[in-house]
Amino acid sequence: DTAVSQTPKYLVTQMGNDKSIKCEQNLGHDTMYWYKQDSKKFLKIMFSYNNKELIINETVPNRFSPKSPDKAHLNLHINSLELGDSAVYFCASSQDLAGFYGYTFGSGTRLTVV
Counting residues that bind other proteins (by CB under 8 A) gives 26
**Between residues 41 and 62, which has the closer beta carbon with respect to other proteins?**
41
Of the candidates 77, 81, 67, the one whose C-alpha atom is nearest the C-alpha of residue 14 is 81
Length of the chain: 114
Q: Does 28 bind other proteins (CB under 8 A)?
A: no
- Among 14, 41, 83, 114, the residue binding other proteins under the rule CB under 8 A is 41
Within a 10 A sphere around the Cβ of 37, how many other Cβ atoms? 15
| Interface of this chain with other proteins, residues 48 to 77, rule: CB under 8 A | 48, 50, 55-56, 58
Peptide bond into 8 cis (omega under 30): yes
**104 contributes a contact to other proteins by CB under 8 A:** yes
Of 64 and 90, which CB lies nearer to other proteins in the complex structure? 90
103 forms beta bridges with 94
Among 12, 27, 43, 54, binds other proteins (CB under 8 A): 43
In angstroms, the CA 93 to CA 32 distance is 4
